[in-house]
Structure 1
Amino acid sequence: MASAFRPSAARILASRPASAIRFLPQTRVAAFHASQRSQILPAGPQVVIGGVNDPAPIPPTSAAHGSYHWAFERLIALGLVPLTVAPFVAGTANPALDAALGTALVLHSHIGFDACVTDYFPNRTYPKLRTFMVWLLRGATVTAAVGLFSFQTNDVGITEGIKKVWKA
Structure 2
Amino acid sequence: MASIARSTLLRQAATASRLSAARPLFQQQSLLQNTSRIAAFHASSRRNLLPPPAQVIQGGVNDAAPVPDPNPSHGSYHWTFERLVAAGIVPLTVAPFAAGSLNPTTDAILCALLLVHSHLGFQVLVTDYIPKKRFPGARKAFTWGLNAVTALVGLGLYEFETNDVGVTELVSKLWHA
* Residue 155 (structure 2) pairs with residue 159 (structure 1): no
> Which letter does structure 1 place at the counterpart of 2:35?
L
Q: Indicate the percent of aligned positions where both proteins have the same amino acid.
A: 49
Partner of 1:51: 60
Cα RMSD of the aligned pairs, angstroms, is: 2.6
Using the TM superposition, give the Cα deviation of residue 20 of structure 1 relative to its aligned residue in structure 2, in angstroms: 5.1
* Residue 123 (structure 2) pairs with residue 114 (structure 1): yes
Partner of 1:60: 69
SS at match of 1:25: helix
Instruction: Select 1:123's aligned residue among 132, 136, 159.
Output: 132
> Which letter does structure 1 place at the counterpart of 2:97?
F
Partner of 2:99: 90
Which runs of at least 4 in structure 1 moved beyond 3 Å after TM superposition?
A: 20-23
Partner of 1:77: 86
- The unaligned stretches of length 5 or more in structure 1 are 1-15, 29-35
* Residue 30 (structure 2) pairs with residue 19 (structure 1): no
Query: Which protein has the larger Cα radius of gyration, Structure 1 or Structure 2?
Result: 2
Tell me how far apart the structure 2 counterparts of residues 56 and 25 of structure 1 sit (CA, whole Å): 53
Tell me how far apart the structure 2 counterparts of residues 38 and 163 of structure 1 sit (CA, whole Å): 50
Tell me how far apart the structure 2 counterparts of residues 63 and 138 of structure 1 sit (CA, whole Å): 21
Higher helix share: 2
Tell me how far apart the structure 2 counterparts of residues 25 and 65 of structure 1 sit (CA, whole Å): 58
Following superposition of structure 1 onto structure 2, how do residues 22-41 of structure 1 map, counting pairs within 5 Å? 24-27=35-38, 38-41=47-50
Tell me how far apart the structure 2 counterparts of residues 45 and 129 of structure 1 sit (CA, whole Å): 14
Give the TM-score, by structure 1 length.
0.79
Tell me how far apart the structure 1 counterparts of residues 72 and 83 of structure 2 sit (CA, whole Å): 15
> Which letter does structure 2 place at the counterpart of 1:135?
W
- The unaligned stretches of length 5 or more in structure 2 are 1-11, 18-30, 40-44
> Which letter does structure 1 place at the counterpart of 2:15?
S
> Which letter does structure 2 place at the counterpart of 1:128?
G
Using the TM superposition, give the Cα deviation of residue 45 of structure 1 relative to its aligned residue in structure 2, in angstroms: 2.2
> Which letter does structure 1 place at the counterpart of 2:162?
T
Using the TM superposition, give the Cα deviation of residue 134 of structure 1 relative to its aligned residue in structure 2, in angstroms: 0.5
Give the TM-score, by structure 2 length.
0.75
> Which letter does structure 2 place at the counterpart of 1:19?
T
